Amino acid sequence: MLQVHNVSKYIEYGLVRKRKKAIVNNTSFSIQAGETFGLIGESGSGKTTLSRMAIGLLRPDEGAVEFAGYDLYSASRGDSKLLRQKMQMIFQHPDTACNPRKTLLQSIMEPFVLHPTLRKGDDHEQIEEVMNMVGLQPELLRRYPYQVSGGQIQRIVLARALLMNPEFIVLDEPTSMLDVSVQAQILRLLKHIQKQRKMTYLFISHDLDVVNWMSDRVAVMKDGEIVETGTSNKIMKHPTHPYTQKLVQAFLYTDR
C-alpha cells in the first residue's frame, strides 16, 4: 500500500558557517494494507519527519513515496486532494488539536469544509456515526475543547479523521499525553476501529511496550535511519542491532 524509497531530509545549521545535516538519511520501508507498522526510536531520531514525508506533508529532498500506486510528490492536484483525504495523521498533543475558540462541533465539521464531496446526505447522521464509533455522546460536541478531557479530545480527533474515510492513518504518539488507563482505552479503540474499517496504521511511539502491543511489524530508528525491521515478536525476542538490543534490555529491566 505504501512504499517509501530512499528518502532523505536535510537541515541547515550553524550561524556563521552554514552546514547541512540529514535528519532522515536514505531511508526505505513499506507497509502492507491492513497492517500496523510501528516506528520506535529515541526522541529526535527522525520518526515524525519520516512519517510526515510518508504521508505527503513534507517533500523529501531525495527519494520518493508511493501510495496506492501514486507517486505522492508528483501526483496531479486532483489526485493529491484525493490522496490527502485517504491519508490522515493524528498527533500527540490533544490540547492543541482543536481550535480553543470553536465548539467541538465546528472543529469536527472541518473535513466537510475542506472536502465538500465528503458530504453524503445528512452531515449530522455521519457525525453521529463516527461519534458512536469512538464511544462518545454527540451532545458533547456542543462544548469547547477546555470543557472536555484529553482522552475525549483524542477520541474527537479520531472521529474527525474517520469522517474523511481514510485508508491509512499515521498515529504520532497518540496516547503519550494521556494517563495510563485512558491510554489503554484509546489503544483498544484504535485496534477495534482498524478492524471495522480495514485501515492501515503507521504507529509512532518511544514506548516499546505500546508499539509491540499495537504493531504487526516494527522498525527501529536511530539518528535518522532505520537500523532494524522485524515482526514485534522478533524485535522483542531476537533483536540483532546493538541499539535495539539496548532498547529491549532497558525495557525488560524497567519496573512497570
Ligand X SMILES: Nc1ncnc2c1ncn2[C@@H]1O[C@H](COP(=O)(O)OP(=O)(O)OP(=O)(O)O)[C@@H](O)[C@H]1O
Site of interaction with ligand X (CB under 6 A): 11, 23, 41, 43-49, 206
- 52 Cβ contact partners less than 8 Å away, ≥ 6 residues apart: 58, 89
Q: Partners of 3 in the beta sheet?
A: 30, 66
Shortest distance, CB of residue 144 to ligand X, whole angstroms?
A: 27
Helices and strands, counts by H and E, the chain: 10, 10
Shortest distance, CB of residue 252 to ligand X, whole angstroms?
A: 21
Shortest distance, CB of residue 248 to ligand X, whole angstroms?
A: 18
Which CB atom, from 46 or from 174, has the smaller least distance to ligand X?
Answer: 46
Of the candidates 184, 183, 214, 175, the one whose C-alpha atom is nearest the C-alpha of residue 90 is 175
Which CB atom, from 21 or from 238, has the smaller least distance to ligand X?
Answer: 21
Which CB atom, from 11 or from 252, has the smaller least distance to ligand X?
Answer: 11
Which CB atom, from 85 or from 175, has the smaller least distance to ligand X?
Answer: 175
CA-to-CA distance for 144 and 6, rounded, in angstroms? 43
- Across the beta sheet with 36-40, what order do the strands follow? 87-90, 168-172, 200-205, 36-40, 217-222, 225-231
Shortest distance, CB of residue 59 to ligand X, whole angstroms?
A: 13
Shortest distance, CB of residue 39 to ligand X, whole angstroms?
A: 8
